[in-house]
Structure 1
């Protein structure tokens, strides 16, 4: 129990009409220190979720706690632990001047003696009511087989920091549940953005120009030599063109009909798109592409 000093001021006087006031204390008497140590936070027993369950952080931000994960609160931190017991995600609400300060406070609440050093920090884009998003990555040793990171987000004058402290094996097994936590983490009173029922803007010249400008800027940022894109609206091709060069060191430029090698994740994606076109009777499996 917290012990607070009790100072009693007692004024004593005589029964005469003009009582004599007590002498003042010596001016050099040191003030007694006041104990401002906060009361210890009672331990909270972890609660295991029997199903995907809506929950809130200490500040009232909403999220989904996945089935079979354990949840408990420690000061400003709401901690989720995977069923394997070797991985945690902490949602920590703090007041701070900026993202860096918020992350420092969050680590102090979750794991003050963290052994990992900061490797990289990058700014993110506003999303789902969160602003001033910043992501942090930490260096772990190969023997740990562990991923450690943090994300700072701002809403309603409060920073919410997500600390990811997860074993790689568990991340591979629980990836969809980790995604559920992040995807449904919203500021208090917020709702996830949806375009259902909204009418899209037409792809006019101004919007196409903005899109192509974005493509060209992204090519420079990512170091991509050449790109071709096509835009289809209401069954009609409204733009087809290329940007950059076909090959480094050569002047030939790509266009809307330039062929590219299909590899990596683009292979299944392109196959899916072709299958959709076959189903729609737009082309056949034997049509050259």
Structure 2
């Protein structure tokens, strides 16, 4: 099952080409690497550490099967949110240093611009690893790893797996509902107010469909014994040499980002 979104697309598991490298890594090692890098980025607000981390993530991006063009086409909301966050920070931050731009009561100084750029890069550097993981990880592999390696409760793991599988169905259902409503002329005309009203109605219809699908899925899983105390696994979740490279790479990127910020004098702990 696949969807048009980067975050839920199935990774290439054939073992050939660059796209299969991160797909063969254990999901736990990828989650650990992202957690380590995220902690380092959350503890500071500076553009050096965030910029270096972002560059390293863009280099790794093709190994997840996501090209830069695909990221820009489908991940533009992420970029837009980062730009808006950076602009808002630069606008509200206290002025320090020379004034770079002044327009009426709005002014941007060197300090406020540096803070805005730092927040923008930091947001992108924190969000991009999530896209890399989800684009290179099969939901079933993730569920197996969470249950076998982290010993999480089976009900929680299987519920999360069902939710990830349903994301693609809901995206397709949204498109079907939109085409059906346009065919009946429900969303035609009305300007922006009409479009907002039509979107709210379509969202309510999608919510009803999601509840129905979740109910049927829950009943089916319960009937097939997914809620049992003891479970067996069709395939074992194992670590490989690739996981070692993932762990070493995550540590290297984290140390490089933090060390460069400290050496450049831009390290700015949030505490």
TM range (shorter): under 0.3
**Which structure carries more helix by proportion?**
2
TM-score, length-normalised on structure 1? 0.17
Query: Normalised by the size of structure 2, how large is the TM-score?
Result: 0.17
Which protein is richer in strand relative to its size? 1
